[in-house]
Amino acid sequence: MASMIIETAGLTKSYGEIRALKPLDLTVPEGEWLSVMGHSGSGKSTLLNLVGGLDRPTAGMLKVGGEDLLGRDEDGLARFRREFVGIIFQQHHLIPYLNALENVMLAQYFHSVPDEAEARSALERVGLGHRLKNRPGELSGGEQQRVCIARAIINSPRLLLGDEPTGNLDHGSTTMVLELLRELRVEERFTIIMVTHNQEVAAWGDRTIYLDDGVLVREEKKLVEG
Amino acid sequence: MNRRSWLIHLVFRALAHRAGRTLLLLAVLAMASSLATALGIVSFSMGKRVAEEVRKYGANLVVVPNSARLDVGSGGLNFGVVSEPAYLRQEQVDGALTKSGLIAERSKHLRGALRLGSADILVEGVDFVEIRRLFPWWQLQGGWPAPGQVVVGSDLASSFHLKVGDTVELAGAGEPVRLRLAGIVATGGEEDGLLFLHLPELQKILDLDGRLSTVRLLVPADGVSLRVRAATLQQFLPQARVTEVRQIARTSEGLLAKVKLLMLLVTAVVLLSAGSSVTGTMSTAVLERSREIGLMKAMGGTRWELLRIFAAEALLLGVAGGVVGYLLGCGIAQFITWTVFGVSAGITLWYAPVSVGVSLLLALLGSLGPMISVFRLDPVRSLRGE
């Protein structure tokens, strides 16, 4: 039986009077691809931010990789993120004045030491070996997202978080990005938690949970093929 | 590439990306630094220049024996009257000057009366080398006297129908001495009525070896008040009275202090407004880059690492602004000193660290507020564009 990479119990997040996430009990086994679905304001991104150490819960227990994140201060959470997490954003969030290679090396800088050869190899793995010196403005949406993936995996994270990573992509690019993630997961053995609005995208995961108004309302497990 | 090289690379890229804002910040820092540099160099040059100007007015401190009622003065000012004979000991004055650490040009004087023909005249023994340094306005007809020669004041020369090359016979308590007249001096002051001879010769004639009646000192204007200088010397000369030549001393010191204060205030105002400008520009930059900062935090950058990036940007701008400001400031200082004093400010390499320091301090202080914003910025909210 796989060990749990994420364990939450009574996990709650409130913004003043608004309860974005109501007490949530969730476990995610190591290596799983978990899709999180729900309409806008259902608490999907809040959950993602909490497990990624970007935000702090209001109450409850949150363990990621066996470590209680509640005990960490702001800089402690930053260190957790760089050691443990890779994030793929819907809007890519690439630094406009750095080229593709440098954008990947920036993640290395915060993790340890920038290594151009490793960064180059990461970009080659996502099929961008020929676009190393291009700045984000010179890349298509799909290419930018692939740079974002290379940046997310460069430090070999145990947890890869995707916040609507295909939300801004056309069908072809979406498929390409999802296939890439599937291949990388096999090679890198990381856990994926992906927030999406799209049922087809969610279906790429091993399991899908549905949130509504901060509450986990439904859970679907993919049938094992064969 | 190691972390430090990468940091520098990142900072250069960020600054180059916002070339317009970078140039604006550089211009503000360079302007502020150049003004501080120019005013600092001019202020320093002015101090030297005023000190040189003050030299033209002769001594600014006078040492007389306690018991002698000898008023002080210089040039056209009143020197008063010796009411009773009292003398300073030369070695005591020299010792006191050494102990007090006072660096000053000096002239030693011994005054007395001798007979010239049938009349008593006032004579003064001096060191003519010192006289030439301290009283450059003396107008001399003829030449400076060699040993055995004298200089006579123009009024006295007229009264006694003396001319250069004549021999005068002076009688004291001992045997009369015959001395050749080397020159006639005109100062417009009481010197015109005196006869001057070499100090050791007069000390011998009057049998007053090592005795002086006055020592005049020219203390350069170096920022320390003359009154303080006089008081310091006075401590080591309890048997004498050390007095300022007030008019000259007060005027030069007061004027210099006021002009320096004015320059300091102007510099402070400029630095304050430049600091506000830096703060404004940096704040806008931080606001514009909040997503970028949020992303860096999301990737695992700690608050201190983010601060280091922004501090490095400020540091680089500060140093560059300081170097440009120093070069510009030297040019401005040259222009001012040349226009106002007619002299060059000279090479003032020692001021370069001050220029860079001013710019650096301004850049860092101006960035303090924006850097606190960087420190506090919430990555989730900034990535959402809030």
Query: Would the CB atoms of A82 and B14 count as touching at under 8 Å?
Result: no
Point out the least confidently predicted range of A85-99, A122-136, B73-87, B182-196: B73-87
Q: What are the sequence ranges of the domains in chain A? A: 31-56+74-221
ipTM entry: 0.92
Nearest Cα neighbor of B121 from B213, B190, B199 is B190
Query: Would the CB atoms of A82 and B299 count as touching at under 8 Å?
Result: yes
pLDDT value for B84? 55
Query: Would the CB atoms of B299 and A74 count as touching at under 8 Å?
Result: no
Q: Exposed, middle or buried, B200 (CB in 10 Å: 0-12/13-18/19+)?
A: middle
pLDDT > 70? residue B68:
no
CA distance A67 to chain B (A): 17
- HSE of B111, CA atoms in CB hemisphere, 13 A: 22
Paired tokens of B75? 């040039």
pLDDT > 80? residue B50:
no
Picking from A93, A97, A105, the nearest residue to B17 by CB comes out as: A97
Query: Would the CB atoms of A75 and B17 count as touching at under 8 Å?
Result: no
What are the CA-CA distances from residue A219 to residues A33, B214, B250, B278, B344 (Å)?
13, 109, 93, 54, 85
> pLDDT, tens digit, for every residue of B360-372?
998 988 888 888 8
pLDDT value for A226? 41
Nearest Cα neighbor of B87 from B107, B111, B71 is B111
pLDDT value for A62? 95
> pLDDT, tens digit, for every residue of B121-135?
999 999 999 998 888
Q: Per-residue pLDDT tens, chain A, 226 aa: give them.
A: 569 999 999 999 999 889 999 999 999 999 999 999 999 889 999 999 999 999 999 999 999 998 899 889 999 999 999 999 999 998 889 999 999 999 999 999 999 999 999 999 999 988 999 999 999 999 999 999 999 999 999 999 999 999 999 888 888 889 988 998 999 898 888 999 999 989 999 999 999 999 999 999 999 987 665 4
On chain B, the residues whose CB falls within 8 A of the CB of A87 are 298-299
Q: What are the sequence ranges of the domains in chain B? A: 3-52+254-383, 60-244
Query: Would the CB atoms of B299 and A75 count as touching at under 8 Å?
Result: no
Name the CATH code of domain A31-56+74-221 (choices 3.40.50.620, 3.40.640.10, 3.40.50.300, 3.50.50.60).
Answer: 3.40.50.300
Phi-psi region of A216 (alpha: psi -120 to 50; beta: other; left: phi over 0): beta
Pairing state between β A85-89 and A159-163 = parallel
d(CA B309, CA B133): 60
Picking from A81, A95, A102, the nearest residue to B292 by CB comes out as: A95
CA distance B306 to chain A (A): 10
State the average pLDDT for chain B: 85
Q: Is the Cα torsion angle B152, B154, B156, B161 positive or negative in sign?
A: positive
Reduced to 3 states, what is the DSSP secondary structure of residue A193? strand
d(CA B261, CA B283): 32
